[in-house]
């Protein structure tokens, strides 16, 4: 059997417990290092994976302890494709960019930073896709930015 090293997948199944996103962060960092990502880009990827997993646990699975979050990493076309799937219904709307001045003045709640960071750090983000098990977030993180 011929194995295409450019499309190897790593699948991480996380319990729906905040803190376990660190497991996916460490795995994604090792995966990116294998494919020659720079230390700065690896840090970006770790934040993206962490925030996507936390979002899936809190808002997708709504904190249900018996739910899971499945993080799939795949390297192709010089980028890591991250798929984070939960067992929820997806998100109704993507929150607008948090306005720190309004938050500092107690005019807005301090929310929306996770999705904002994913959008800022990733090259492509696609929300609210149906999969067999629930909602998934698809993210592309290119090896080289710009």
Partner 1 sequence: MQKENEITLEKKGDVTIMDIKGDITAFSDPFLNQAYQEATHLGNRKIILKSNKEAYINSGGIALLIQLLARIKSNDQQVVIAGISDHFKKIFDMVGITKFAPIYDSEEAALQNLAADTK
Distance CA 64, CA 87 (A): 10
Among 110, 126, 133, 145, binds partner 1 (CB under 8 A): 110
Of 55 and 87, CB closest to partner 1 = 55
The CB-of-140 to partner 1 minimum distance in angstroms stands at: 19
Of 47 and 131, CB closest to partner 1 = 47
Note whether 63 binds partner 1 by CB under 8 A.
no
Kindly list the distances between the CA atom of residue 129 and the CA atoms of 38, 56, 87, in Å, as whole numbers in the listed order. 30, 13, 12
Distance CA 11, CA 45 (A): 16
Distance CA 97, CA 105 (A): 16
Of 90 and 112, CB closest to partner 1 = 112
* Angle at the Cα of 36 from the Cα atoms of 26 and 6, rounded to 5 degrees: 95
* Positions in the binding site for partner 1 (CB under 8 A): 17-19, 21-22, 25, 40, 43-44, 47, 50-51, 54, 98, 100-101, 103-106, 110-111, 113-114, 116-117, 120
């Amino acid at each position: 059997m011929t194995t295409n090293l450019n499309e190897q997948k790593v699948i991480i199944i996380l319990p729906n417990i905040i803190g376990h996103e660190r497991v996916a962060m460490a795995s994604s960092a090792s995966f990116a290092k294998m494919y020659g990502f720079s230390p700065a880009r690896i840090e970006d990827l770790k934040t993206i994976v962490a925030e996507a997993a936390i979002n899936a646990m809190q808002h997708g699975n709504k904190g249900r302890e018996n739910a899971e979050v499945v993080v799939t990493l795949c390297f192709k076309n010089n980028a890591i494709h991250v798929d984070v799937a939960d067992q929820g219904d997806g998100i109704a709307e993507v929150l607008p960019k948090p306005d720190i001045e309004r938050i500092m003045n107690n005019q807005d709640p301090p929310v929306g930073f996770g999705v904002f960071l994913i959008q800022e750090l990733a090259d492509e983000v696609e929300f609210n896709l149906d999969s067999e098990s629930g909602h998934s977030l698809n993210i592309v993180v290119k090896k080289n930015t710009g």
